């Protein structure tokens, strides 16, 4: 039931969750995941970036160049309406998945 | 602040697209890098540490590009397609040509960046190419200057050189009466001019000096279309027996002697004791085409003024050659035919002198370059081989690089670049490399050409201007492009066969495909065969030079000084005057401390020049059909053979008593004695000048000496005989002095001795006999040095190339070797297997190379001395030596292979 997309799907969920709060650029996304996971989840740009690209292709996120005085132009990603839907769906899938896993683990300990 | 965008561009293997999307990818990553970098700096890292951190945070660049290619279809691939589309659309819009140029420019810039990214590869490849192309450029600049450039005279293609062909001599100088008749009777030429060279003594201005003079017909300068810088050249009435004595100065002489004073016109000069008037100065750029034995030319005089002894003597060949200018529309063949007609007329009118006499007509340029053509072509062939070896090496480097870049290529293909596009990109990279190598080669050739001229520039007449001109540059770049195309194509085409899917997979290793191995084997075979051929050619030349050095000139040149004495006829018209000078000269010189012996001779052995004369031996049958027998003749003084160290085998040297009144005597060499009196004592036999019917007196043989090389050690000489100087009292001769020590210390005492006899008499052509011997082998030395250098370079390149190929092939077989060792093969077995495979190619290369060497040897046969073109020693040593080098080059990687831990090899390579 839970395909091999799981791992990839989990990264997408992380990104979607972070972008649900406010638009972020690539570096911030990586850093927030790292900080909030207590350093347990770290992604290099070369891993994170292709996923962002894929998510754009699916129409979940959109990038926009933002210029601030005295700073380098950065590309900020924000959720689209489709992305918000996807976030809901991903969250449900994740919870089901986690529950299922827990169930299995609980059985094995029984 | 760092340029992070450039940083990204240099590392991210994306195509050279300038589309907005690609730019934004670069910019985005630049932002990432900068943030990572600043973050690290804030935590107190050093700049280098921060950079390392940022790089680490970016991860794998290749994987990133790969992921972009795979995952970002919408953005990236469409970007790539747009880029390709744009190129094509632009091509249509601008009519093709400019788009091509724009593409070329972009590809070139990309290539330059790619080359900068691997400086090691680029440096080695560029140096190799610069060496190969530069050597070709150097030799081509020689060939261009000598063989290709027209002579520096207007319409120089119309200029011809003419000399006589006698029944018994293929190439003879022209007799003055024949020249006059040729000029009178021909219908093919605008005009003809005679010339010969010699020396003339200048007195009355400081110490007396001997000037180098060319005597020319008045028609010479008009034929050459040469205008004087100042004044005028000769008038026809000045070129007569009793003409006005006038002189035209060469530019260098005018600058030196007269400080470039324009008021020199009309000034008087005393030449050979006669008053001459300066009528003109030739411009700096004017060079007389034929220099003969002269070091330089100081003055020109009209020739007929000197023709007193020749003008009525159709049998005398006083070193005259003829230059002519073809009439408009007349070809060389027509002119030759016309001169044949003239020669037949003269033969009918003067049978006793002109029987069998014909005229050679050659283009002046051809005549002046004929001795250079063959050696220059040989050198061109040698550098051509060297170039191919260099290109082969670089092609192999490129091939290895293409293999290493399979992932990049796969990514590019994934991004939408099609096969031809990739091939073009790789080809542009090769061409960029080759053209850069060519430019470096031109710089290299600039220095090398100078070195060559320093080595043997004296051999080239100054009319030949050797240097890097626009044609040399154009040919060099053409060679670079052509070889770049040829040798860049194979590796580029190889990229088409890459298995894309395979190489996009994780951990794709470069594995040697069958095709690439074949290509590589071909490179090794080519390299070895060319190196063997070049090595053999160089070996033959070096051996030939060695033989030349070993060849005995037939005399002992050690510690012998020679100077030329040239008595002016004006002051020494009487035989008694000459005799008085002569006796006193020898007496005074022999009295100089340190002088062992002194003698005079009309001809110096090995030195340029010579005197051939016909002779008839008593008792021989009459000559027929004008075919005379010739010998090298010289008139020498007493002690000559002792001074020159020429062994006297029988009889005696000349004595002072062998004078004008005494019986005529000669000393003959072994060659002559062997030919006419093989079983008899030559002493007492008789010979005379001319043919059987000549009026010349009989001369009795009083001595027998060994044969001496007269005209350089290389030329085969005629039989020789000598007369006593006293019986042929000439105005010009050489004084040879054997000293106890360094002969150059005697120069000043000898000069003083001459001045003590006649304060107006200079000495000239001061030289040592060892210098003459050395000069006579200089061509051989030159070729030996050049070919030796080329062969050494070829050997080095071939060794490097073979090593490179072997190392790569062995590295790629690491897995297989690991398996073999794991299965129990011993190190020796594996070593043997690797080496055997490498040496198989080497042996094939050696065989092909020897075949090539036989062909080249055939070309060289004419210029070899004392060595067969199939010299077994050379044909054995060269391939053996090369094979040893190849063996060493393949042993090193093979030994490294067997030291690999099998487990590690299996693990690494799987």
CB contact under 8 A, A27 and B61: no
Nearest chain B Cα distance for residue A10, angstroms: 17
pLDDT for B781 beyond 80: yes
pLDDT for B687 beyond 80: yes
pLDDT of residue B589: 94
B37: contact with A, CB 8 A cutoff: no
Contact list in A for residue B36 (CB cut-off 8 A) is 27
Least confident of B159-163, B306-310, B339-343, B680-684: B306-310
pLDDT for B713 beyond 70: no
Cβ contacts of B556 within 8 Å, gap of 6 or more: B644, B645, B646
Mutation target to probe the B interface, by most B beta carbons within 10 A, among A29, A32, A34, A44 is A44
- C-alpha dihedral sign at B203, B207, B208, B212: negative
CB contact under 8 A, A54 and B64: no
pLDDT for B820 beyond 80: no
B23: contact with A, CB 8 A cutoff: no
Return the H-helix or E-strand segment holding A87.
Answer: helix A81-109
Read off the pLDDT of residues B537-595 as tens digits, 9 standing for 90 and up: 888 988 888 888 887 788 899 999 999 888 887 788 888 888 889 889 999 999 999 99
Contact list in B for residue A30 (CB cut-off 8 A) is 57
B57: contact with A, CB 8 A cutoff: yes
Average pLDDT of span B525-536: 89
The Cα–Cα gap between B283 and B462 comes to 14
Residue B64: closest CA among chain A residues belongs to which residue? A46
Nearest chain B Cα distance for residue A68, angstroms: 13
Report B:67-86 residues touching A (Cβ under 8 A).
67-68, 70-76
| Contact between B302 and B217 (Cβ < 8 Å) | yes
Average pLDDT of span B749-756: 92
Mutation target to probe the A interface, by most A beta carbons within 10 A, among B72, B73, B75 is B72
B63: contact with A, CB 8 A cutoff: yes
CATH no. for residue A38? 1.10.10.10
Nearest chain B Cα distance for residue A93, angstroms: 23
Confidence of residue B757 (pLDDT cuts 50, 70, 90): very high
B371: contact with A, CB 8 A cutoff: no
Nearest chain B Cα distance for residue A95, angstroms: 27
pLDDT of residue B207: 80
Nearest chain A Cα distance for residue B413, angstroms: 18
pLDDT for B67 beyond 70: no
pLDDT for B210 beyond 80: yes
Provide, rounded to the nearest whole percent, the portion of chain B with pLDDT above 70: 87
Which residues span the domain enclosing A40? 5-109
Confidence of residue B821 (pLDDT cuts 50, 70, 90): confident
Average pLDDT of span B39-49: 82
Confidence of residue B714 (pLDDT cuts 50, 70, 90): low
Confidence of residue B522 (pLDDT cuts 50, 70, 90): confident
Return the H-helix or E-strand segment holding B624.
Answer: none
Confidence of residue B736 (pLDDT cuts 50, 70, 90): very high
User: What region, left, alpha or beta, does residue B651 occupy, with left being phi > 0 and alpha being psi -120 to 50 degrees?
Assistant: left
Least confident of B43-52, B69-78, B384-393, B652-661: B69-78
Which DSSP string do the residues of B649-700 spell out, in sequence order?
EEE----TT--SSSPPEEEEEHHHHHHH-TTS--TT-EEEESSTT--SPPEE
The shortest CB-CB distance from A46 to any of B30, B60, B73 is to: B60
Provide, rounded to the nearest whole percent, the portion of chain B with pLDDT above 90: 35
pLDDT for B529 beyond 60: yes
pLDDT for B701 beyond 80: yes
Nearest chain B Cα distance for residue A11, angstroms: 15
The Cα–Cα gap between B708 and B719 comes to 9
Residue A59: closest CA among chain B residues belongs to which residue? B74
Average pLDDT of span B823-827: 77
Read off the pLDDT of residues B835-851 as tens digits, 9 standing for 90 and up: 887 788 889 999 999 99
Nearest chain B Cα distance for residue A82, angstroms: 17
Give the CA distances from residue B85 to residues B412, B413, B418, in Å, rounded to whole numbers and listed in that order. 15, 15, 12
In DSSP terms, which residues pair with B198 in a beta bridge? B213
Contact list in A for residue B72 (CB cut-off 8 A) is 50, 53-54, 57
B504: contact with A, CB 8 A cutoff: no
Confidence of residue B92 (pLDDT cuts 50, 70, 90): very low
Contact list in B for residue A8 (CB cut-off 8 A) is none
pLDDT for A56 beyond 90: no
B829: contact with A, CB 8 A cutoff: no
Residue B3: closest CA among chain A residues belongs to which residue? A72
The Cα–Cα gap between B793 and B801 comes to 12
Read off the pLDDT of residues B851-891 as tens digits, 9 standing for 90 and up: 999 998 888 887 788 888 889 999 999 899 888 888 888 78
- C-alpha dihedral sign at A50, A56, A59, A63: positive
CB contact under 8 A, A53 and B71: yes
Contact list in B for residue A54 (CB cut-off 8 A) is 71-72
pLDDT for B716 beyond 80: no
- N- to C-terminal Cα separation, chain B: 44
CB contact under 8 A, B68 and A50: yes
Residue B57: closest CA among chain A residues belongs to which residue? A44
Residue B412 DSSP symbol: H
Count of domains in chain A? 1
pLDDT of residue B293: 63
Q: What is the ipTM for the molecules in this complex? A: 0.80
Which DSSP string do the residues of B454-476 spell out, in sequence order?
HHHGGGS-TTS--S--HHHHHHH
B659: contact with A, CB 8 A cutoff: no
The shortest CB-CB distance from A53 to any of B27, B61, B75 is to: B75
Average pLDDT of chain B?
Answer: 83
Nearest chain A Cα distance for residue B509, angstroms: 21
pLDDT for B101 beyond 70: no
pLDDT of residue B523: 82
Nearest chain B Cα distance for residue A55, angstroms: 9
Cα angle value B5/B411/A63 (rounded, 5°): 50
Confidence of residue B509 (pLDDT cuts 50, 70, 90): very low
- How would you classify the pairing of strands B274-281 and B246-249? parallel
The shortest CB-CB distance from B72 to any of A45, A50, A65 is to: A50
Lookup result for tokens 């011809």? B160
Residue A52: closest CA among chain B residues belongs to which residue? B72
CB contact under 8 A, B32 and A45: yes
- Count how many pairs of residues, chain A against chain B, have C-beta atoms within 8 Å: 66
């Amino acid at each position: 039931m839970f395909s091999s997309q799981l791992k990839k799907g989990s990264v997408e969920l992380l990104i979607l969750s972070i972008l649900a709060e406010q638009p972020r650029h690539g570096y911030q996304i990586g850093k927030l995941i790292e900080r909030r996971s207590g350093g347990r989840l770290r992604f290099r740009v070369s891993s994170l970036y292709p996923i962002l690209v894929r998510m754009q292709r699916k129409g979940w996120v959109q990038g926009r160049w933002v210029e601030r005085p005295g700073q380098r132009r950065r590309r900020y990603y924000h959720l689209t309406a489709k992305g918000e839907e996807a976030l809901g769906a991903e969250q449900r899938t994740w919870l089901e998945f986690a529950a299922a896993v827990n169930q299995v683990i609980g059985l094995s300990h029984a | 602040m760092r340029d992070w965008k450039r940083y990204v561009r240099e590392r991210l293997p994306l195509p050279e697209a300038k589309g907005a999307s690609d730019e934004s990818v670069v910019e985005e990553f630049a932002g990432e890098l900068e943030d990572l970098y600043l973050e690290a700096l804030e935590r107190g890292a050093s700049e280098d540490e921060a950079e390392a951190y940022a790089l680490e945070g970016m991860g794998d660049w290749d994987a990133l590009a790969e992921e972009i290619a795979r995952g970002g279809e919408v953005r990236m691939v469409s970007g790539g397609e747009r880029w390709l589309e744009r190129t094509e659309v632009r091509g249509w819009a601008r009519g093709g040509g400019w788009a091509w140029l724009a593409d070329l420019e972009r590809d070139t810039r990309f290539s330059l960046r790619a080359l900068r990214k691997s400086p090691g590869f680029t440096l080695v490849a560029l140096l190799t190419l610069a060496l190969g192309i530069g050597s070709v450029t150097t030799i081509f600049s020689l060939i261009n200057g000598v063989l290709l450039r027209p002579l520096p005279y207007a319409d120089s293609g119309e200029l011809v050189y003419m000399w006589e062909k006698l029944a018994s001599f293929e190439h003879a100088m022209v007799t003055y009466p024949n020249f006059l008749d040729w000029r009178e009777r021909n219908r093919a030429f605008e005009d003809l001019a005679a010339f010969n060279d010699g020396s003339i003594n200048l007195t009355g201005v400081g110490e007396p000096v001997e000037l180098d003079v060319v005597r020319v017909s008045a028609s010479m300068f008009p034929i050459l279309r040469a205008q004087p810088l100042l004044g005028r050249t000769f008038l026809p009435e000045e070129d007569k027996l009793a003409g006005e004595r006038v002189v035209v100065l060469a530019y260098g002489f005018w600058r030196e002697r007269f400080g470039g004073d324009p008021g020199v016109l009309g000034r008087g000069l005393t030449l050979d004791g006669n008053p001459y008037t300066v009528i003109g100065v030739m411009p700096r750029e004017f060079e007389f085409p034929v220099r003969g034995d002269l070091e330089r030319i100081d003055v020109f005089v009209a020739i007929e003024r000197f023709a007193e002894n020749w003008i009525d003597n159709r049998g005398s060949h006083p070193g005259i050659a003829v230059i002519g200018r073809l009439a408009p529309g007349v070809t060389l063949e027509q002119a030759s035919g016309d001169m044949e007609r003239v020669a037949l007329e003269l033969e009918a009118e003067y049978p006793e002198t002109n029987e069998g006499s014909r005229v050679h007509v050659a283009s002046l340029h051809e005549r002046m370059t004929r001795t250079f053509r063959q050696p220059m072509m040989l050198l061109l062939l040698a550098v051509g081989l060297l170039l191919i070896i260099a290109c082969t090496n670089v092609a192999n480097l490129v091939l290895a690089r293409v293999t290493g870049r399979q992932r990049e290529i796969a990514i590019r293909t994934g991004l939408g670049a099609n096969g031809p596009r990739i091939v073009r990109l790789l080809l542009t990279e090769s061409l960029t490399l080759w053209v850069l190598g060519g430019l470096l080669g031109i710089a290299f050739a600039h220095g090398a050409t100078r070195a060559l001229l320093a080595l043997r520039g004296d051999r080239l007449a100054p009319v030949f201007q050797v240097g890097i001109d626009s044609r040399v540059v154009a040919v060099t770049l053409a060679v670079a492009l052509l070889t770049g195309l040829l040798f860049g194509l194979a590796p580029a085409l190889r990229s088409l066969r890459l298995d894309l899917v395979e190489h996009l997979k994780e951990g794709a290793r470069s594995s040697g495909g069958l095709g690439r191995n074949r290509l590589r084997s071909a490179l090794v075979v080519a390299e070895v065969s060319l190196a063997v051929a070049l090595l053999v050619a160089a070996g033959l030349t070096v051996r030939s030079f060695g033989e030349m050095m070993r060849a005995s000139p037939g005399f002992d040149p050690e510690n012998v000084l020679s100077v030329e004495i040239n008595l002016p006829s004006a002051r020494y018209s009487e035989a008694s005057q000459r005799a008085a000078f002569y006796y006193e000269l020898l007496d005074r010189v022999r009295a100089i401390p340190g002088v062992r012996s002194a003698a005079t001779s009309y001809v110096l052995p090995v030195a340029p020049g010579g005197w051939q004369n016909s002779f008839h031996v008593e008792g021989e049958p009459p000559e027929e059909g004008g075919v005379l027998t010739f010998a090298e003749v010289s008139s020498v003084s007493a002690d000559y053979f002792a001074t020159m160290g020429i062994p006297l085998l029988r009889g005696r040297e000349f004595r002072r008593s062998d004078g004008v009144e005494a019986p005529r005597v000669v000393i003959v060499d072994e060659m002559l004695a062997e030919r006419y009196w093989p079983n008899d004592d030559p002493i007492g036999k008789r010979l005379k000048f001319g043919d059987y019917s000549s009026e010349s007196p009989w001369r009795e043989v009083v001595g027998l000496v060994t044969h001496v090389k007269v005209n350089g050690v290389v030329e085969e000489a005629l039989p020789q005989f000598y007369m006593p100087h006293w019986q042929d009292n000439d105005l010009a001769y050489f004084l040879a002095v054997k000293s106890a020590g360094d002969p150059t210390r005697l120069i000043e005492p000898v000069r003083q001795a001459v001045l003590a006899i006649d304060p107006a008499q200079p000495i000239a052509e001061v030289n040592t006999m060892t210098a003459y011997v050395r000069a006579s082998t200089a061509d051989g030395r030159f070729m030996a040095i050049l070919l030796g250098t080329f062969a050494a370079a070829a050997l080095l390149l071939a060794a490097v190339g073979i090593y490179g190929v072997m190392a790569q092939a062995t590295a790629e077989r690491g897995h297989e070797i690991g398996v073999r060792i794991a299965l129990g093969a011993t190190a020796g077995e594996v070593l043997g297997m690797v080496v055997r495979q490498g040496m198989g190619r080497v042996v094939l290369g050696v065989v092909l190379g020897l075949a090539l060497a036989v062909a080249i040897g055939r070309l060289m046969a004419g210029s070899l001395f004392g060595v067969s073109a199939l010299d077994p020693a050379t044909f054995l040593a060269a391939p053996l030596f090369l094979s040893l080098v190849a063996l060493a080059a393949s042993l090193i990687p093979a030994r490294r292979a067997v030291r690999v831990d099998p487990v590690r090899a299996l693990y690494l390579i799987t």
